[in-house]
Structure 1
Amino acid sequence: MEMAHKPEQDSTEDISQLRLILHEWRLSWRPGIAGLVAGSIGYSLYAAVSSLFVEPLQAQFGWSRGDIAFVHSFGIVTAFAAPVVGRLTDRKGVKPVLLLGLLATALGYVLLSQMRGSLLYYYAAYFCFSMAGMATTGITVTRILSGAFHRTRGTALAIGRSGLALTGALMPLLLFPVIVQAGTAGGYLLLGGTILLLAVPLVWFWVPSRAADLKAGRISAVAMADQWRVLLNQPRIRVLIAASVLNYVPVVSLLSQMKPLAVSKGLEAATAVGAVSVMGLAAACGALLSGVLVDRFWAPAIAFTLNILPAAGCLFLLGGDVSPLVFYAAVLLIGLGQGAEIDIVAFMIARYFGLRSYATIYGLSTLGIALGVAFGASMIGQAYDLFGDYNFAIMAASASFALAAVLYLAMGRYPETVPD
């Protein structure tokens, strides 16, 4: 008799779960959209479109690709702002930190639009831009989503990440003709204006203040984030940081030179721009796929798979000229890895360590990523100047993805309990 009633009981439980999920989304869709938009058009977007500025800056001011790519090395300094941003977010709340970061990032784009050919000015403006932009990255944005959603946290993070990927796919199509018609200044002003017109109002009106979070019971008035030293003494945190660095650095490095890389492999300029968009679409698919899967399966196994695929994709790009079909297939696989990184790491932080020190841990991860990007994204331009092609950088990227895949598996089983 009990067996006869089991399908009916399962059906009732499924309906109950669905109602809880729908209730969660009815309560949280506003901060969710605000976080999605802010993360999609904030500082992180520039990594997806920066390669469109390389050749125009080279033609406009006579700088080499190594000169232009050198700004990524500033991350060695600006990266240390990430743990501070995380600490402030855990202590003061997301809203004030993110709003200030969005306004300062828009101002950074304005400064970049005023370049007149001085490399020193370019370096100074980009330094300020990257420092301010740290407050608009996943440190703040994923904290909004992780706090607003619980039952479908992975899906919510994936939707947020896919927003950045989709913007990375569509923005080049809008940005490229603007740069052609109005130069790099027009491109920078377009990016800054988008932040002011879309992200700032949504965050202002739809992201709850810390006082509102305390009143609603979403955060504890007494719980404080652990100190950096205490967190870094935990082996799992160190493993997760290392995996995220090895996952993300090759993506940003390749993406920062994607258009000229495509041209160097024999693609036409318009086809090369299309490759940047394909990578963005692939990242959106990777984000959605990983987010849905981590809500149902062991997250490290999903992360392993979505790093092995881009490791293989890089190998397709080795050698001389490649066909557009092969290049696009490789970019598709690399994009899947790009889409998986942010939401999987954010999910793992919440699942393994809870929300009490969430932004602080994410900030430490961002510090590692930024230091890695400072090295990788600057060296890829230098490698091209030295060897005359991108093959050495492509091999290094493939090895980095493969090592990241192995490290994700080392996270082990989920803990029974995590701190609030």
Structure 2
Amino acid sequence: MTSTHSPWRVALLEWRAQWRLGLAALIGTGVCFSVWPSVSSLFVAPLQEAFGWSRGEIALAHNASLAAAFVSPVLGRLIDRVGVRPVLLSGLLLTAMAYFLLAALRGPLPMYYLLYTVLCLVGATTTGLTFTRVVSGAFVGSRGLALAVTRSGLALSGALLPPMVFAIIATYGWRMGFVALGALVLLLALPVAWLWIRGASLAPVVADGGAHKPRSSLIGLLRNHKVLLICVASALNYAPIVALLSQFQPLLVSKGLGAAEAAALIGLVGVSALVGALLTGMLVDRIWAPLVACIFTLGPALGCLMLLPESIELYVAIVALILLGLGQGAEIDVVAFMIARYFGMRSYASIYGLSVFFIAAMVALGGSLIGLAYDYFGDYDIALLVAASCFVISAFSYLAMGRYPRIELAADDTAAVVASLRAEPST
């Protein structure tokens, strides 16, 4: 007599075989460049005091993140060609060096812009572009859960690192703040990546017989309507949330909440994002991922509509922010899962890099338009309606991905674990 092994049993065996790799991805995500947005504001006042630059001049450096987004598809292409390990290890070393160079900064302002751009470019190789490739290639039956666990490292560091870095800056100065960030990458992320992130699943996917199949160009990938669909869907999902986050406090105040009350509520988004990531990670391993993505994308649409009345109650704001946070947490993990599930690992990083590019372009556009919309209309209602429309379009775009294709998995340790599990006699 035979029976189907439970998903939990598959997950247990995968984690038993790959826990070191999963832990390395969690640590790396938590201490590498992805955490920089959470701590970057701590350096604004010290740099202003040290060099006399205005806050506007310092803020201009953030445009470098757009440059990183533009090169993400190219970096993804490189990862698919040479494998994730050499790109990741090189990126970790270079990211640490970039932090150390910023610590040694003596001015002038253009040099800060140059070093900040270098940090963004090399740091892009230590983000989801590489770490989701690591996890997606190593975990099969529990891929969604593994991606969610990896993302939880960023959520935890986003809560823990800012006060730690602030204390270091307050005690030892801003230079030591940059040194601390570089040391975390060099002394923590790099060693665990070197020791634990290894295996056949991280190498370029090759065809039968060992010969590489021709890979589609980036333009060729976009000609695949499903690749374009997932890039557009992810951008229409993520960008409105980021745009709204940039204006949440004044938006809530305009709806009748107190300034302090509104500021305190914003923390709900981060907590909800962590819950959304873990919840969707478990669901997509068992339920059709586009359906999960659709449900968690329609939630933020409802949240936007709840914020439309001229005056809202506190509980309405709480529910709306929770819905938005759940959607934000779900988006990145579900998209990474769907890229692996629909297109396999051969061009995974290239497609992920394309989605990053679409998201960054839409974030830049949305972040500007939401402020302009308020200036023109005198409130945020039009922006909320546009955001809700984007969420709805995104939700049904996910559904248009259709059923999962049959994709040959690359030979790796996890696949062997799952195969051995399936070969076990059942009672």
Going from structure 1 to structure 2, the CA distance change for 1:30 and 1:294 (only over 3 Å counts) comes to: same
Mean alpha-carbon deviation: is it higher for 369-378 or for 351-360?
Answer: 369-378
Cα RMSD between the aligned structures?
Answer: 4.0
Which AA in structure 1 matches 2:140?
Answer: H
Mean alpha-carbon deviation: is it higher for 394-403 or for 30-39?
Answer: 394-403
Q: Is the 8 A contact 2:145 2:278 kept in 1?
A: yes
TM-score of the superposed pair, with normalisation by structure 2: 0.79
Q: Which residue of 2 aligns with 1:171?
A: 161
CA distance in 2, matches of 1:90, 1:59: 44
TM-score of the superposed pair, with normalisation by structure 1: 0.80
Q: Is the 8 A contact 2:205 2:346 kept in 1?
A: no
Q: Is the 8 A contact 1:57 1:63 kept in 2?
A: no
| Deviation, structure 1 residue 99 | 1.6
Which AA in structure 1 matches 2:276?
Answer: G
**Partner SS for 1:37:** helix
Mean alpha-carbon deviation: is it higher for 352-361 or for 245-254?
Answer: 245-254
Q: Which residue of 2 aligns with 1:3?
A: none
Going from structure 1 to structure 2, the CA distance change for 1:73 and 1:330 (only over 3 Å counts) comes to: farther
**Partner SS for 1:356:** coil
CA distance in 2, matches of 1:72, 1:315: 31
2:54 corresponds to 1:63: yes
| Deviation, structure 1 residue 243 | 0.9
2:231 corresponds to 1:241: yes
Q: Which residue of 1 aligns with 2:417?
A: none
| Deviation, structure 1 residue 352 | 0.8
| Deviation, structure 1 residue 223 | 3.7
Q: Which residue of 2 aligns with 1:136?
A: 126
Q: Which residue of 1 aligns with 2:349?
A: 359
CA distance in 2, matches of 1:156, 1:219: 28
CA distance in 1, matches of 2:20, 2:171: 36
2:333 corresponds to 1:346: no
Q: Is the 8 A contact 1:179 1:186 kept in 2?
A: yes
Q: Which residue of 2 aligns with 1:32?
A: 22
CA distance in 2, matches of 1:321, 1:188: 43
Q: Is the 8 A contact 1:51 1:258 kept in 2?
A: no
Q: Is the 8 A contact 1:169 1:277 kept in 2?
A: no
The number of equivalent residue pairs is 406
Q: Is the 8 A contact 1:244 1:369 kept in 2?
A: yes
**Partner SS for 1:44:** helix
2:219 corresponds to 1:229: yes
Q: Which residue of 1 aligns with 2:240?
A: 250
2:141 corresponds to 1:151: yes
Q: Is the 8 A contact 1:41 1:195 kept in 2?
A: yes
Pairing 1:20-419 to 2, within 5 Å after superposition: 20-50=10-40, 61=52, 63-64=54-55, 67-113=57-103, 119-178=109-168, 185=175, 187-208=177-198, 221-224=210-213, 225-255=215-245, 266-268=258-260, 272=263, 277-314=267-304, 329-377=319-367, 396-417=386-407
Mean alpha-carbon deviation: is it higher for 167-176 or for 53-62?
Answer: 53-62
Going from structure 1 to structure 2, the CA distance change for 1:117 and 1:44 (only over 3 Å counts) comes to: same
Q: Which residue of 2 aligns with 1:13?
A: 4
Going from structure 1 to structure 2, the CA distance change for 1:391 and 1:142 (only over 3 Å counts) comes to: same
CA distance in 2, matches of 1:68, 1:392: 31
Going from structure 1 to structure 2, the CA distance change for 1:209 and 1:417 (only over 3 Å counts) comes to: closer
| Deviation, structure 1 residue 326 | 5.7
Going from structure 1 to structure 2, the CA distance change for 1:53 and 1:243 (only over 3 Å counts) comes to: farther
Identity percentage over the alignment? 47
Deviations 1:10-53 (A, max 9, x none): 8x5336x6554332222111111111221222222223444556
Which AA in structure 2 matches 1:206?
Answer: W
| Deviation, structure 1 residue 373 | 3.1
Going from structure 1 to structure 2, the CA distance change for 1:308 and 1:375 (only over 3 Å counts) comes to: same
For structure 1, the residue ranges without an aligned partner over 5 or more in a row are 1-8
Q: Is the 8 A contact 2:85 2:203 kept in 1?
A: no
CA distance in 2, matches of 1:321, 1:110: 49
Going from structure 1 to structure 2, the CA distance change for 1:378 and 1:176 (only over 3 Å counts) comes to: farther
Going from structure 1 to structure 2, the CA distance change for 1:206 and 1:218 (only over 3 Å counts) comes to: farther
Q: Is the 8 A contact 1:51 1:255 kept in 2?
A: no
Mean alpha-carbon deviation: is it higher for 311-320 or for 29-38?
Answer: 311-320
Going from structure 1 to structure 2, the CA distance change for 1:204 and 1:355 (only over 3 Å counts) comes to: same
Q: Is the 8 A contact 1:280 1:335 kept in 2?
A: yes
Which AA in structure 1 matches 2:5?
Answer: D
| Deviation, structure 1 residue 241 | 0.4
| Deviation, structure 1 residue 148 | 0.8
| Deviation, structure 1 residue 305 | 1.6
CA distance in 2, matches of 1:263, 1:370: 28
Which AA in structure 1 matches 2:346?
Answer: R
Q: Is the 8 A contact 1:52 1:259 kept in 2?
A: no
Going from structure 1 to structure 2, the CA distance change for 1:419 and 1:134 (only over 3 Å counts) comes to: same
CA distance in 1, matches of 2:73, 2:204: 27
